Amino acid sequence: MTAAMQPLHATAVARHTPAGWRGVLIQGPSGVGKSDLALKLIGQGWRLIADDWTHVWASGGALYAAAPATITGKIEVRGLGIVAAPLWPLTRIMLAVACTHEAIERLPEAAAWTWDGISIPQLRLDPRPASAGQVVATALAAL
């Protein structure tokens, strides 16, 4: 199995846009709040692609994501356990979100994340504030 076919330690969610279903890849170390940010977005009408482990691949100059079969439609809710979530099976990934608990610059330089030769914009974000989901939605809408 090539590196591009191995699941990434990341969560992915998607929403329907005028251009079709578009998603974000939420990355960061264990415990940083990837699943919690995904839950915030799901509460705003987004759909889960994959929680904690995500297959990401390049095709036709774009990146796509899907869940490994063993975790499809499931998300970890800290303090509750593994639960079912509204699912969308596959999406084009348009934005990478790098979760951190470090201070975020107010006006950061543009950043990118590259996988299998394809680069997409990257947003550094502290997922803990209540506004984090809206920040992600705003960033995706601006693309």
For residue range 35-83, list pLDDT tens digits in order: 999 999 999 999 999 999 999 999 999 999 999 999 999 999 999 999 9
Half-sphere exposure of 26 toward its Cβ, with a 13 Å CA cutoff? 31
Give Cα separations from 24 to 1, 79, 81, 84 (angstroms): 24, 25, 23, 19
Q: For residue 68, what is the DSSP state?
A: -
Q: What are phi and psi of 110, to 5 degrees?
A: -60, 140
Query: For the chain, which residues make up each domain, given as ranges?
Result: 3-138
CATH topology of domain 3-138: Rossmann fold (3.40.50)
Cα 134 to Cα 2: distance, rounded to the nearest angstrom:
35
For residue range 110-132, list pLDDT tens digits in order: 999 999 999 999 999 999 999 99
Tell me what pLDDT residue 6 has.
76
Give residue 25's identity as a one-letter amino acid code.
Answer: L
User: Do 69 and 30 touch, CB atoms closer than 8 A?
Assistant: no
